[in-house]
Amino acid sequence: MLLIIAGLLLMMGCNYESEVQIYVGDVIARMKSDKEMSTKTIFKFENDMVTNEKLNQFKPKIEPIVKEFLNKESKINIADKEMNIVTTLPIVTVPDSSKVFMVAINKYYNVCLISNKRLMNIVNDRVNDIEFNLGFKNGAFTFIISNDLRKKVKVELLCDSFVDGKPMRARSTFDLKHRDSVKIRVGDVMNYIINQGGLIKVVDFADDLDKKS
């Protein structure tokens, strides 16, 4: 069944890509504090059939929706037939039903992504009358993990992914040196779960972080 789902996703392609920036230091800080935190995220919508001029015409219609459902400080950039939404996602320890997407950290220092299908459907309904292929319908997610700690960190994958373009299975591990970053593009089945509204576990730092400090 999972292979069938993955095959369908490949045939349909994706209507947007998302890059979520994660700093290891933020993971630790969020677990130790109730302070609200967020992380930079970019949603990229591309359509070869639409000109930049047309995208700029759509922009005033899209901006209010973006600011309402993602972040009031969100910015929209248009170039090369691509509309990029630069925004932030909240980093939470308890799921928040008022958010479309959120990065969640659990007690095991797992980094997760959660999507809210109800709110995704509302956004999709709001943009249905716009010709450009917008909406949270079929996305692909990449996580940029950056080590801002003063030590090496061991990263464990919690789902099949492409790590800097190399396929790796869930439970694979690798070291991330101080100031190094890695791109983790989750597999098609995980993307399907997020697009349908759900939770995926991406990486784990628990074995390498001092939870008592």
Question: Which DSSP state fits 124?
Answer: H
Can you state the percent helix, strand and coil of the chain, rounding each to 5? 30, 40, 35
Taking CA atoms, 157 is separated from 21, 174, 199, in Å, by 16, 9, 15
Q: Can you tell me the distance from the alpha carbon of 115 to that of 110, in angstroms, rounded to the nearest whole number?
A: 16
Residue 163 pairs in a beta bridge with: 166, 184
Residue 110 host element (H or E)? strand 110-115
What's the pTM value of the predicted model, to 2 decimals? 0.87
**Segment 78-111, tens digit of pLDDT:** 988 889 999 999 999 999 999 999 999 998 899 9
CB distance 133 to 10 below 8 Å: no
Q: Can you tell me the distance from the alpha carbon of 35 to that of 105, in angstroms, rounded to the nearest whole number?
A: 14
Among 10-14, 34-38, 134-138, which is the least confidently predicted range?
A: 10-14
Q: Can you tell me the distance from the alpha carbon of 26 to that of 90, in angstroms, rounded to the nearest whole number?
A: 11
Tokens of 23: 């700093």
pLDDT at 132: 59
Tokens of 82: 């691509």
pLDDT at 9: 34
83: left (phi over 0), alpha (psi -120 to 50) or beta: beta
Decide which of 53 and 39 is more confident. 39
Tokens of 65: 């929706």
**Segment 180-197, tens digit of pLDDT:** 999 999 999 999 999 999
